[in-house]
Structure 1
Amino acid sequence: MTSESPAVTRRREQLRDFLRTRRARLTPGDVGIVAVGRRRTPGLRREEVAALAGVGVSWYTWLEQGRTINVSVEVLDAVSGALRLTEPERAHLYVLAGLNPPRAGGARGAEVTPELRHLLEAWTPRPAVLRDRYWNLLAINDAARAVFGFDDTDHNCLISFFTNARYRDMHVHWASAAPVVVAAFRAAAAHAPDDPEFGRVVDDLSDASPEFAQLWARHDVGVPVQTVKAVHHPEAGDLFFDMVTLAVVDRPEWYLELYNPRPGSETEDRLERLATRLATPA
């Protein structure tokens, strides 16, 4: 019989302590249970948690003891609800039980905070874009509009890459970049094969762009990397950027794309002149 690794042993110990402390902090009144007589157990009893979660008392006891048992997403969600876990606590329970944590609820419809908007504007005259896991544009600064040709009709980076004529025309290496872009989006979609939103983006773009449909059918998969983005702007001329993508820590499905002028390319001076020109009344 194969012995358990020290890491797994520690995880099971943490699972035991975590469930016990979450159970101990609740009172019967917190969950709508009428308490009768004196209670020697602080917080809820194991059988009460099991009843609230709709699982067997023995199974919940084994889970709390950190035994080797099979757990499912549905059961962990039921236990999370019974123990009134917060979203971070629920994700922590998944990790301790050996499962991938769930996606953070509410991230898709969350408002962009003033702090993030301020960061985007502070990056001006350099372009900055905030997008979600589906590459939907959540917020952009004025420099991104001016440099990349985004307008009010643009709502998704991938769709704009293939359907915004001005955006396409300004990208010096569009044809060679297109397969890489599609392969990166397929890699992102592969992490959530049952998510209909990825399918909606693919279906909409396949109908609008035969080029995308052809590239998508190749099933190439790539990993997003830090890249150099080359743009030929009709007023500013050739612009070269180092693009860095950063995850937003409290919104794990949001990504901040920051474009920094490539050293030695004269891009920074050209951006400054473009910004001055756009800010000067005609």
Structure 2
Amino acid sequence: MTDNHLGEFLRARRSAVQPQDVGMASYGLRRVSGLRREEVAVLAGVNADYYTRLEQGRERHPSAQVLDALGHALRLDADARAHLHQLAGTAPVNQFTHTTDRVSPALRQLMDGYPGAPAFVINRTLDVLAANAMAEALHSPFERMDNLARMAFLDPAGRQFYTRWGDTTAILVGHLRQASGLDPDSPRLHELVRTLTERSTDFTRLWKTHAVHGKTQNAKHLLHPDVGALTLTYQSFDVRDAPGQQLIIYQAESGSASAQALSLLGSIHATSQRAAT
């Protein structure tokens, strides 16, 4: 990753917007995918040379008003606009950029209090910091439950476990892009991105789009080799005494086939644990 984070983001998002998306006519041969720099400048009401300097990293201190105009021109959603402000330094200063990866005993006890629901804690770079027994059972097809992005892209089980693998991986990469705006100098983030880029062309392709995803409530569609298909909803909760950590809890609709499968999975895992000890 270079240090021109703002310029790279603008360039990537510009290439994702077509003239017809913003009601502009397109004439002649276009040498770029998406909008031209001049077209973005017109849409945002800024000088074309000024916008060019932003992309090239020669201008790094745009005003919040300019960023809002660019966000509108590039059709950015709320998460992407917030990310844009983070990259430019116009978002409120986050005094909790660096956080601990230690999960408190109280939070571990809370997770264990949900024996029928997979519950785990992640940090901004999607490292799994702690998990209850049901979460471990759910993710048992993986070699190890350590980082959600690594598991999806590099573990052979990923493509079968996530039945909507393309959607899942796009969201995971979007989370990492959001993390890069909150803490662009994170050694852990740089290490993870380097590993995934070296070993996965799919990750590299998605990373270059600079798409940003925040919290979603999309259902998870999974396939577990022991119990079959699972459709689970989930809730995510910010851990107030450890900013940057999130508690994730999955659940199945009461009385559904997924609820029965989840219950069976818990029994299988408990039996195997007893046998192992």
**Interval of TM-score (by shorter of Structure 1 and Structure 2):** 0.5 to 0.7
Q: CA RMSD in A?
A: 2.3
* Counterpart residue identity of residue 174, structure 2: A
1:217 aligns with 2:208: yes
1:230 aligns with 2:207: no
Residues 1:101 and 1:187: Cα distance change in structure 2 (over 3 Å): closer
| 1-structure distance, mates of 2:263, 2:247 | 22
Aligned partner of 1:100 among 93, 96, 106: 93
1:266 aligns with 2:257: yes
Aligned partner of 2:110 among 119, 122, 128: 119
Residues 1:144 and 1:167: Cα distance change in structure 2 (over 3 Å): farther
Q: What SS does the aligned partner of 1:165 have? A: coil
Residues 1:251 and 1:173: Cα distance change in structure 2 (over 3 Å): same
Residues 1:139 and 1:152: Cα distance change in structure 2 (over 3 Å): farther
| 2-structure distance, mates of 1:104, 1:185 | 14
Q: What SS does the aligned partner of 1:257 have? A: strand
5 Å matches for 1:59-78? none
5 Å matches for 1:1-282? 100-103=93-96, 107-109=99-101, 111-149=102-140, 153-263=144-254, 265-280=256-271
Residues 1:101 and 1:217: Cα distance change in structure 2 (over 3 Å): closer
The higher relative CO (CA closer than 8 Å, separation ≥ 6) is in: 2
| 2-structure distance, mates of 1:255, 1:159 | 18
For residues 261-281 of structure 1, the C-alpha deviation after alignment (integer angstroms, 9 at most, x for no partner) is 134632222211222233236
| 2-structure distance, mates of 1:149, 1:219 | 31
The answer to whether the Cα contact below 8 Å between 2:115 and 2:133 also exists between their aligned partners in 1 is: yes
Q: Calculate the TM-score normalised by the size of structure 2.
A: 0.60
Residues 1:264 and 1:189: Cα distance change in structure 2 (over 3 Å): farther
| 2-structure distance, mates of 1:152, 1:113 | 26
For this pair of structures, how many residues does the alignment match?
183
The answer to whether the Cα contact below 8 Å between 1:239 and 1:265 also exists between their aligned partners in 2 is: no
User: Where has structure 1 moved over 4 Å in runs of 4 or more?
Assistant: none
Q: Calculate the TM-score normalised by the size of structure 1.
A: 0.59
Residues 1:277 and 1:153: Cα distance change in structure 2 (over 3 Å): closer
Percent of aligned positions with the same letter in both sequences? 27
Residues 1:249 and 1:155: Cα distance change in structure 2 (over 3 Å): same
For residues 167-206 of structure 1, the C-alpha deviation after alignment (integer angstroms, 9 at most, x for no partner) is 3311111123222221232122212223332222111111
The answer to whether the Cα contact below 8 Å between 1:240 and 1:265 also exists between their aligned partners in 2 is: no
Residues 1:264 and 1:234: Cα distance change in structure 2 (over 3 Å): same
Q: What SS does the aligned partner of 1:168 have? A: helix
| 2-structure distance, mates of 1:233, 1:258 | 18
Unpaired runs of at least 5, structure 2: 1-90
Cα offset, 1:134, TM superposition: 1.6
* Counterpart residue identity of residue 108, structure 1: T
